[in-house]
Amino acid sequence: MAALVMLVVLCGMVMPQHAARAAPSPVAHSPFNSPPEPGAIRLHACVAPVRHGDTAAKLFASPDRFDCRRAEAAWGAGSYWVRLDLPPGSRLSEDPEDMPNRYLRFAPQWQRMITVHTRLADGRIVSRSYDNQDLSPLMGIGAAVGIPLEKRVRLGTQIMVRLDGALNAAGLVVEPQLMRGTALRGAELAAAAIFSAFAGLGIGLFCYNMVLWLTIRERFQLTYCLSLLAMLAYVWASSGAMSLQAPSTSQVLRIETSYLMLAFVGALALQFITDFIEPHCLPARLRRFARNVGLASIAAAVAVILVPEAWRPLADRAYVLTFIPLPPLVAAIGMIAWRRGSGSVRVLAIAWAMPLVMAVLRIAHALHLVELSSVVEYSLVIGMSIEALLSSLAMSYRIKLVTEERDQALADERAARHLANVDGLTGLLNRRALLEQVIAWSSPEPLRLLLVDIDHFKQINDRHGHLVGDEVLRDVAEVMAMRAELRGSVARLGGEEFALIGTSDELSEGLALAILADMRAKAMGGHVRLTVSIGMAEGMVRCEDEWRDLYRRGDIALYRAKSEGRNRAVHAGPGCAVSVPIGPFVSAAAVA
């Protein structure tokens, strides 16, 4: 849907630019007429350096000045005449009604001025000059301009372009074509479809992954979203959409934006790869090197923009050279990560295989090793589209791994917290966990504390052994837990001492009597009979100091129960020194 919207928008931007380019009037073709010419004819460029005193008339009259074999890039930076010839065997209609519908279409590069000279049938030469500001209104999607030709141009070797101050990084007159108006619009619509498809894909993936980043907060997600923004900005500038939206924008600014955004694409792509792969699978030095290579590309792009014109060819060459390490570096990162057991590098390799091939192809073209073709021209957009889509799928796999790691870490943390809060022998809360729970409770009413201590527990250990003693502790803990239920928190404070805390209503004196009776009635550890002593106290517990005060008063009551003969519960009064015995009980029948 996003791609469709972008296609409609860009098509709407394309159509008004060429509304004045009316479709050619239908021309009848009888069997005796020559067949109609094709919609677009690729022109052949011949180059001659500009000399002092040159004029268009002299150059039209001096075909020997032009070199038609030497590659344009081999001429280097400077000012040049470019003669545009029809390929051998091409035939053009000379119908006056058809000629006004022809356009010279080419992709302008970095230069100060372009002047298009056309020689008419009567020998007159018509010249039109365009600076970088003038070219923007003529720009269409595909970063090419369509210049209408005069009605009486007799085509063949009658078109010549002069370029002043050309950088000649990618050529002088790139992809020159002679086109009908319908073919021109068709080419721009095709380019609009390609670029809008990428724009729709990029916008959709950015929104989707940005929402995921807000939820999961992994660094590689943010890096990926930033790289998508850089890709979209690069396509916006390099496709000519920037000029369509802002016709007053200079072509130099558009090209500078393309340089800078492409550098950011490369730098963020390297950063994304190093962020995506697990930290332990890549050496820190390799991560720093990858980051520095990306920064070098950005620095080179800034240099191309800022250096004086005389130094710009050197800066442009340095800019291209900074991209050469990218493919081998990405391959090296993947190999090292794979050898170190990375689980995510495999899916990353699938996502980056085709983009790397396209990047190598584009770098080879920038180094003038391969000729420009449709595949080369759109290789970056194709590569970025594949990378953006497959990297998003790879991130889904990586997020799955991250989620599993986090779930396992949370489970381990819960288990560790449980072990830290629970007494290992009885399964009850320990002293620290009970204190944290009570303080976090912040009860608005006083709490009651029951301290329960096993009578003569040392004798049980001495007589029956420590294994039986442990069984006794577990059985006592079970009785405490059963009596506590939902009425309070029960904990083992250490040794043979247990605690039960809750509100006064929950922990009544009747509960204390029931605990005493249960302990006497059950054979602990299978055959051991025992009794317990209980100290009770109550008070507010909102901080650790109040807990210590409550515990101290409960401990005094417990000591009183021990000193008065054990097997009983003693309730501490309002003061620490006053103790109220609930009474000794010798049988379960005393329990109400």
- Last residue in a domain, options 187, 217, 247: 187
Residue 291 and residue 277: Cα distance in Å, rounded? 14
- Tell me, yes or no, whether 17 lies in a domain: no
- Tell me, yes or no, whether 336 lies in a domain: yes
Domain match, 261 and 380 both: yes
Domain holding 382: CATH number?
1.20.1070
Domain match, 182 and 198 both: no
Domain match, 178 and 206 both: no
- Tell me, yes or no, whether 18 lies in a domain: no
Residue 592 and residue 588: Cα distance in Å, rounded? 9
Domain match, 480 and 404 both: no
- Tell me, yes or no, whether 113 lies in a domain: yes
Domain match, 373 and 436 both: no
- Last residue in a domain, options 378, 409, 440: 409
**pLDDT in the model for residue 93:** 52
Q: Helix, strand, or coil here: 62?
A: coil
**pLDDT in the model for residue 289:** 94
Domain match, 212 and 236 both: yes
Question: Under 8 Å CB-to-CB from 120, ≥6 apart: which residues?
Answer: 126, 150, 152, 153, 154
Residue 188 and residue 40: Cα distance in Å, rounded? 13
**pLDDT in the model for residue 592:** 26
- Tell me, yes or no, whether 5 lies in a domain: no
Question: Measuring CA to CA, which residue among 218, 201, 203, 267 is closest to residue 396?
Answer: 218
| Helix 219-238 and helix 181-216, axial crossing angle in degrees, nearest 10 | 160
User: Residue 532: which H helix or E strand, with range?
Assistant: strand 532-539
* HSE-CB of 333 using CA atoms within 13 angstroms: 30
Question: Measuring CA to CA, which residue among 402, 346, 410, 349 is closest to residue 218?
Answer: 402
Maximum alpha-carbon separation in the chain: 135
- Last residue in a domain, options 147, 172, 187: 187
Average pLDDT of each block of 10 consecutive residues along the chain (592 residues)?
37 37 33 47 91 92 90 89 82 52 86 90 85 88 85 68 90 86 85 85 85 83 90 90 88 92 92 87 92 94 92 91 89 89 77 70 68 59 72 72 76 73 85 86 87 92 90 90 74 90 85 90 87 92 89 92 91 56 41 28
- Tell me, yes or no, whether 415 lies in a domain: no
- Tell me, yes or no, whether 227 lies in a domain: yes
**Known catalytic residue at 496:** yes
**pLDDT in the model for residue 366:** 67
- Tell me, yes or no, whether 298 lies in a domain: yes
Domain match, 396 and 537 both: no
DSSP character for 84? E
* Total of domains in the chain: 3
Give the N- to C-terminal CA distance of the chain in Å, as an integer: 76
Domain match, 183 and 196 both: no
Domain match, 268 and 390 both: yes
- Show the domain range for 106: 42-187
Domain match, 330 and 479 both: no
Q: Which residues pair with 501 in a beta bridge?
A: 449, 489
Domain match, 562 and 472 both: yes
Domain holding 483: CATH number?
3.30.70.270
**pLDDT in the model for residue 568:** 92
- Strand extents, DSSP E, 301-404: none
Domain match, 220 and 147 both: no
Over its C-alpha atoms, the chain yields an Rg (Å, rounded) of 43
**pLDDT in the model for residue 153:** 60
Q: Which residues pair with 534 in a beta bridge?
A: 452, 569
Domain holding 162: CATH number?
2.60.120
* HSE-CB of 213 using CA atoms within 13 angstroms: 16
Catalytic residue chosen out of the listed positions 377, 387, 496, 497: 496
